[in-house]
Structure 1
Amino acid sequence: MGYISELRELVGTRPIILTGVTIIVLNKDNQILLQKRTDTGDWGVIGGALELAETFEDAAKRELYEEAGLNSSEFKFITLLSGKDMYYKYPHGDEVYNAIVVFEAMNVSGIPTINDDEGLELKYFSLEESIDQLNPMTHKILKKSGYIHW
């Protein structure tokens, strides 16, 4: 059982501060890799919560591999997002205020492959066009990070 699961056993669905990472993966055509989420059925960025004693970079490396089967030799810091507009309520009722470090993965290797139960599909999307069924939190993250302007 992971740290967040253990914490949830104590506090239930009440709001918590969730510290995590988002990893932006761009291909040679400047398209972004997104995953179709199992919990909401919409498209979201690669990322997740830190485990105890884990660095942000270690979490980014782990999440990139777990959710997309990819490796990166470098993570470029983009921004830190937090505050009331980073609130999110999951479909099963858990509430969080995210504190997210956004990285862009550099020198990415591997073939996008789902390695966990959080994603149904992986696909590259253009940053210039609005994406149907984009997760609302992903939209906030990409807009605040300067990756999209719509």
Structure 2
Amino acid sequence: MQPDCLSAEGERRCRRLLAGATARLRARPAAAAVLVPLCSVRGVPALLYTLRSMRLSGSHKGDVSFPGGKCDPTDQDVVHTALRETHEELGLSVPEEHVWGILRPVQNRQKANVVPVLAGVGPVDPQSLRPNPEEVWGRW
């Protein structure tokens, strides 16, 4: 039985609750965006985190984080930033229609706004991910 938090009704409820914020925040400028991937691993509800590579420059190396990163000028909006970065970091393609909504921006240590994008990515087999060693630590 699928847990309520990942059910179709749970998704509809979440999308409805986030609709106003998503409309307001989607095109608003931000420094970065992250994907908050709701998934299941072996049938258990989970969140997919990454461990940032020690090869990265700057203050985020070695951090546990959601997949994501800086907004590029070519990104249409923060949703595209989060989805692009997730694919670059983990080889995980998340279709835009799987995005449930946008959460309230948070500030990172440098006081830059980071926008969390919530998406249901379904069942995930960690062994199927293709982590980019330049971005994330790749052992599961």
Q: Distance in 2 between matches of 1:109 and 1:65?
A: 16
Which has a greater percent of strand? 1
Q: Aligned Cα RMSD in Å?
A: 2.6
* Identity across the alignment (%): 20
- Alpha-carbon offset, residue 18 of structure 1: 6.1
TM-score, normalisation: structure 1: 0.54
- Where does residue 90 of structure 2 map in the other structure? 68
Are residues 115 and 49 of structure 1, via their aligned partners in 2, closer, same or farther at CA, if it must alter by over 3 Å?
Answer: same
Are residues 70 and 63 of structure 1, via their aligned partners in 2, closer, same or farther at CA, if it must alter by over 3 Å?
Answer: same
- Where does residue 9 of structure 2 map in the other structure? none
1:28-87 CA-to-partner distances (Å, cap 9, x unmatched) read 2221111121233342211101001411121112111011111112222241224xxx24
In the alignment, structure 1 residue 30 sits paired with structure 2 residue 45: yes
- Alpha-carbon offset, residue 112 of structure 1: 1.8
Query: What is the identity, as a one-letter code, of the residue corresponding to 2:117?
Result: F
- Where does residue 6 of structure 1 map in the other structure? none
- Alpha-carbon offset, residue 122 of structure 1: 6.0
Match of 2:118 among 104, 107, 126: 104
Unaligned residue ranges in structure 2 (runs of 5+): 1-28, 55-60
- Alpha-carbon offset, residue 23 of structure 1: 0.5
Unaligned residue ranges in structure 1 (runs of 5+): 1-16, 89-95, 124-150
Which has a greater percent of helix? 2
SS of the residue 1:70 aligns to: coil
TM-score, normalisation: structure 2: 0.57
- Where does residue 79 of structure 1 map in the other structure? 103
1:74-131 CA-to-partner distances (Å, cap 9, x unmatched) read 222241224xxx241xxxxxxx2221221122245873221351111365xxxxxxxx
8 Å CA contact 2:104–2:115 kept in 1: the answer is yes
